[in-house]
């Protein structure tokens, strides 16, 4: 098989060991004679898969008992609606708009409540994060919303806003499980699976139990209430069984790697290698404020669209896949999630040097 490195922002590269194990188990899981895809979600075998996945996630992310773990379909985008529908109380919520996904969440929230932009980095083309210390939050806001890692722009909050008693809600889709996290700082956090968690098809929602309410936006469909998922252990209806099984495998892989502390070290080293190469280059530049650079998504440009296109084409030929930046910003972006090996970055950096030399820079 051709060796490639996949820098996709999501669905993204999965650990090879996980894929090989899943392949081995594809037709006959644990001597059941069935594929996990064919199993009833109410069967004993599947119940064990779900419970182990939850427990392993609780262990690796250090999730306290007063937080519920929910598996919900509809991607991270459905949370843009479920959050306001479920957390509404006074009818107000404050949003940090730091990119497209935060903007979408804000626009969606306006359908249900008085959503206010309290800080934005739009003026800076989303290349930075607002200084959280200088942001005024309404005292009667039902929650404060951030997108912690902005996948498209390669920015990350390095400090969380101090919201005092107001629940902090975070979209952590592209940074979850990349480093240790203090869950207690959040009221609710969610992540679409297709980056560091597993294949697409599920969103992991972690919510403080007191925020799971009977009283929600009126009307809220049953399937859009957190309470429905919490009361039925994410099995009110048929869950995405195979996706959850794969997520469970990734959680076990994370444990084997030494957990989030070990992954943080590895991810920081990988990101440093790439950022240093960009800084030392005469051709490539990273447009992101150095104080807020993501260790998961690294955008870079040459400043010349034709040259960017040439780089992307030649990189693909060299086995460096999906290095094209998001269609809204152009240039290049290397997404370097947990499963991207160090030699993937080394190969990319060597290719960048080579390209630069060939271009006579």
77 marked ligand binding residue: yes
Extract the tokens encoding 188.
């609710």
**Distance (Å, whole) CA 20 – CA 169:** 36
Torsion over CA: 79, 80, 85, 90 (sign): positive
Residue nearest ligand PLP by beta-carbon distance: 75
- Alpha helix stretches (DSSP H) within 67-168: 75-87, 100-109
Is the CB of 94 or the CB of 171 nearer to ligand PLP?
Answer: 171
40 marked ligand binding residue: no
Extract the tokens encoding 260.
């989030």
E strand map for 80-163: 92-97, 114-120, 143-147, 149-150, 155-156
Is the CB of 77 or the CB of 346 nearer to ligand PLP?
Answer: 77
171 marked ligand binding residue: yes
DSSP symbol at 346:
H
Give the SS3 label for residue 88. Answer: coil
Is the CB of 75 or the CB of 319 nearer to ligand PLP?
Answer: 75
271 marked ligand binding residue: no
Least Å distance, CB 241 to ligand PLP, is: 18
Q: What angle do CA 247, 325, 268 make, to 5 degrees?
A: 55
Least Å distance, CB 108 to ligand PLP, is: 11
- Which H, E and C letters describe 117-139, residue by residue? EEEECHHHCCCCCCCHHHCCCCC
Extract the tokens encoding 317.
């030929």
**Distance (Å, whole) CA 163 – CA 137:** 7
Least Å distance, CB 90 to ligand PLP, is: 26
**Distance (Å, whole) CA 298 – CA 276:** 12
**Distance (Å, whole) CA 244 – CA 207:** 18
**Distance (Å, whole) CA 60 – CA 55:** 9
Least Å distance, CB 76 to ligand PLP, is: 3
**Distance (Å, whole) CA 346 – CA 5:** 11
Is the CB of 29 or the CB of 199 nearer to ligand PLP?
Answer: 199
Is the CB of 101 or the CB of 145 nearer to ligand PLP?
Answer: 101
Is the CB of 87 or the CB of 277 nearer to ligand PLP?
Answer: 87
Binding footprint of ligand PLP on the chain (CB under 6 A):
9-10, 75-77, 101, 147, 151, 171, 173-174, 192
Least Å distance, CB 207 to ligand PLP, is: 17
55 marked ligand binding residue: no
62 marked ligand binding residue: no
Least Å distance, CB 246 to ligand PLP, is: 15
101 marked ligand binding residue: yes
Least Å distance, CB 176 to ligand PLP, is: 10
Of 346, 271, 357, residue with least CA distance to 311: 357
* 349 in Cβ contact with 334 (< 8 Å): no
Is the CB of 146 or the CB of 271 nearer to ligand PLP?
Answer: 146
42 marked ligand binding residue: yes
Binding site, by residue number, is 42, 76-77, 101, 151, 171, 194, 237-238
- Residues annotated as binding site for pyridoxal 5'-phosphate? 76-77, 101, 151, 171, 194, 237-238
Residue positions in the annotated binding site for L-glutamate? Answer: 42
């Amino acid at each position: 098989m051709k060796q490639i490195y996949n820098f996709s922002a999501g669905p993204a590269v999965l650990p090879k060991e996980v894929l090989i194990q899943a392949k081995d188990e594809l037709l006959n899981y644990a001597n059941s004679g069935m594929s996990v895809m064919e199993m009833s979600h109410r069967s004993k075998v599947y119940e064990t898969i779900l419970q182990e996945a939850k427990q392993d996630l609780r262990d690796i992310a250090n999730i306290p008992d007063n937080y519920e773990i929910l598996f919900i379909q509809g991607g991270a985008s459905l949370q843009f609606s479920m959050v306001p529908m479920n957390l509404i109380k006074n009818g107000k919520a404050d949003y940090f708009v730091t990119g497209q996904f935060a903007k979408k969440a804000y626009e969606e929230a306006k359908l249900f409540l008085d959503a206010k932009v309290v800080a934005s980095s739009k003026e800076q083309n989303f290349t930075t994060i607002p200084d959280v210390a200088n942001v005024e939050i309404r005292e009667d806001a039902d929650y404060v919303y951030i997108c912690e890692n902005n996948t498209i722009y390669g920015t990350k909050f390095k400090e969380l806003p101090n919201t005092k008693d107001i629940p902090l809600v975070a979209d952590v889709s592209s940074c979850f499980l990349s480093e240790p996290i203090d869950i207690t700082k959040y009221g609710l956090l969610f992540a679409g699976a297709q980056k560091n968690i597993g294949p697409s098809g599920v969103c992991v929602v972690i919510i403080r139990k007191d925020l799971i309410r009977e009283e929600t936006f009126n009307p809220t469909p049953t399937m859009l209430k957190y309470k429905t998922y919490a009361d039925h252990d994410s099995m009110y209806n048929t869950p995405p069984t195979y996706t959850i099984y794969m997520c469970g495998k990734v959680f076990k892989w994370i444990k084997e790697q030494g957990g989030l502390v070990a992954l943080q070290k590895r991810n920081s080293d990988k990101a440093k290698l790439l950022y240093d190469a960009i800084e030392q280059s005469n051709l490539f530049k990273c447009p992101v404020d150095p104080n807020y650079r993501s260790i998961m998504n690294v955008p870079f440009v040459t400043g010349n669209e034709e040259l960017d296109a040439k780089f992307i084409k030649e990189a693909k030929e060299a086995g460096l896949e999906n290095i094209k930046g998001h269609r809204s910003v152009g240039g290049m972006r290397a997404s370097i999630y947990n499963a991207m090996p160090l030699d993937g970055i080394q190969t990319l950096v060597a290719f960048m040097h080579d390209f630069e030399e060939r271009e006579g820079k």
